[in-house]
Amino acid sequence: MTSMTTADLEQLVEGHDLEAKLAAGRDGRGELPSSFFETYSAFANTDGGIVLLGVEEVPDGRLVAKGMTESAKVVRALWDGLNNPQRVNANLLREQDVETLDVEGKAVIRIAVPRASRRQRPVYVGPNPLTGSFRRNNEGDYRCPEEVVRRMIAEQVEDTRDAHVLRGFGVGDLDATTIAKYRQRYQTRSPDHPWNSLDEKEFLRSVGAFGGDREAGIEGPTSAGLLMFGKLVPIKDAFPNYMLDFQERADARPDSRWVDRLTTDGTWSGNLFDFYALAIQRLFRDLRVPFQLRGDTRIDETPVHEALREALVNTLIHADYTGRVSVLVGASANRPARASRRSSRPGEPSTGARPRWSKRSSPTSRRSSPCAWRACCPPRLCRPSSSASARPSTRPPKSRSWPSWPPPSSDPSRTRGCDR
């Protein structure tokens, strides 16, 4: 039994990753509280955390050990509940995650709940994930909205969603001009690549934008291919709430009107490839570029260019285009650009709009699909960014089913030095 002092315990504070429960039971000898599994679900679906049983939070916020005389019974009830699918759907704990502490003669049970993997979420209480899934906010356990639960369920199979072949769609639903621009950049960057000699359909099949189901005998664009190269109407047929919006305002006041706007209004293709190219031009046009030389070559970009490019790509590739929120990129004269997700239905509240670059997505997220951006950006451009300032990441790119597009050599979408 591991020892712990009262002073050590008093230094702990309930919060995002720590929960204290008295667990005294009716007779005061110790009992697993029914609320434990709600906390277990909340920690597993968020960032993990520690649960202390036999500890009480007093009014001044200190944690005080009350102990329990029948700690073994509580531990047994814990394992019985974790392995009962009627109580909770998944057991994430190992033997070493549960230990009994001796706090100056009082038995306290310490339970370390790990964060569930993407394929394990949602962890839920009872038989229904839509009503039994919880998330941790501050020091409280809160029931997840149904939309968040459905997104977690969808993300369990995210790796295959990009490559999903859309029934009833064909090459005619893709924008020929967009594909031509993509192929031109591809050929400029890799003039000797064998894919340059393929016809349009085979080229799209090679980069993952077109596919087929041999058993069903169908072929067509993938979800990622349609989002990346599609025409607006077919995209909205497949993703009814799809919307991209860039707004430049004179200042950062919420009531300030936009002075320049790019949105899916039918005046351009409406796909992700063209939105990126048009939006990055607007983000770059007012940036100052100091005179710098690298050898005999002038450097035409700054770290700000790199950060903006990475942040825009992160926003687009992490967006959940099956959800009910749209992508909004905003910029003003006296504040840096920002991106967020907002409701795409009139009357619905904004979800996750923050003055920073965010992953679509969800708090969710950390990643959402489907997205084709992997096909049109270099590997370093596809790295998750957890920084509000969108600094270039140093983590390796996440594996996807998309081949990487070599960075083009032409401005303004040049991807030198960028990082999903």
Q: pLDDT tens across 179-224, in order?
A: 999 999 999 989 999 999 999 999 999 999 999 887 778 899 999 9
pLDDT at site 403: 40
pLDDT at site 3: 81
**Residue, of 103 and 352, whose pLDDT is higher:** 103
Q: Are residues 59 and 105 in the same domain?
A: yes
pLDDT at site 334: 61
**Residue, of 260 and 296, whose pLDDT is higher:** 260
Ramachandran angles phi, psi of 328, nearest 5°: -120, 125
Q: Are residues 355 and 247 in the same domain?
A: yes
Whether residue 121 lies inside any domain: the answer is yes
Pull the structure tokens for residue 131. 């009503």
Which of 152-161, 247-256, 411-420 has the weakest average pLDDT? Answer: 411-420
pLDDT at site 407: 39
Whether residue 74 lies inside any domain: the answer is yes
On the question of pLDDT at 333 being above 70, the answer is no
Quote the mean pLDDT of the chain: 80
Q: Give the C-alpha separation, 39 to 142, whole Å.
A: 9
The band of 409, judged by pLDDT with boundaries at 50, 70 and 90, is very low
Q: Are residues 90 and 52 in the same domain?
A: yes
Give one DSSP letter per residue of 53-110, joined into a string: ETEEE-TTS-EEE---S-HHHHHHHHHHHHT-TTTBS-----GGGEEEEEETTEEEEE
Listed in sequence order, the residues at least 6 apart from 263 whose beta carbon sits closer than 8 Å to its beta carbon are: 243, 244, 245, 246
Q: Are residues 93 and 242 in the same domain?
A: no
pLDDT at site 155: 78
Whether residue 407 lies inside any domain: the answer is no
Whether residue 65 lies inside any domain: the answer is yes
The count of domains in the chain is 2
The band of 401, judged by pLDDT with boundaries at 50, 70 and 90, is very low
Ramachandran angles phi, psi of 163, nearest 5°: -90, 5
How far, in whole angstroms, is CA 300 from its chain's centroid?
32
Instruction: Report, as an integer, the average pLDDT of 148-172.
Output: 82
Whether residue 329 lies inside any domain: the answer is yes
On the question of pLDDT at 394 being above 70, the answer is no
On the question of pLDDT at 310 being above 80, the answer is yes
Q: pTM of the predicted model, to two decimals?
A: 0.50
Q: Are residues 64 and 116 in the same domain?
A: yes
Q: Are residues 120 and 179 in the same domain?
A: no
pLDDT at site 289: 78
pLDDT at site 335: 56
What's the pLDDT tens digit per position in 339-382?
555 544 433 434 333 333 333 333 333 333 343 343 344 333 33
Tell me the longest C-alpha to C-alpha distance in the chain: 82
Q: Are residues 178 and 142 in the same domain?
A: no
pLDDT at site 365: 36
Domain end residue (candidates: 93, 122, 146): 146
* Structural domain that includes position 317: 161-381
Q: What is the CATH number of the domain that holds 64?
A: 3.30.950.30
Q: Give the C-alpha separation, 18 to 182, whole Å.
A: 50
The DSSP output letter for 400 is -
What's the pLDDT tens digit per position in 39-96?
999 999 999 999 999 999 999 889 999 999 999 999 999 999 999 999 999 999 999 9
pLDDT at site 340: 56
Pull the structure tokens for residue 418. 């960028």
What is the SS3 assignment for 211? strand
What's the pLDDT tens digit per position in 134-155?
999 988 999 999 999 998 888 7
Whether residue 37 lies inside any domain: the answer is yes
Nearest CA to 265 out of 223, 226, 233, 237 is that of 233
Q: Give the C-alpha separation, 376 to 364, whole Å.
A: 24
Q: Are residues 140 and 170 in the same domain?
A: no
On the question of pLDDT at 237 being above 50, the answer is yes
Q: Are residues 134 and 93 in the same domain?
A: yes
Instruction: Report, as an integer, the average pLDDT of 17-23.
Output: 94
Amino acid at 220: G
Q: Are residues 113 and 191 in the same domain?
A: no
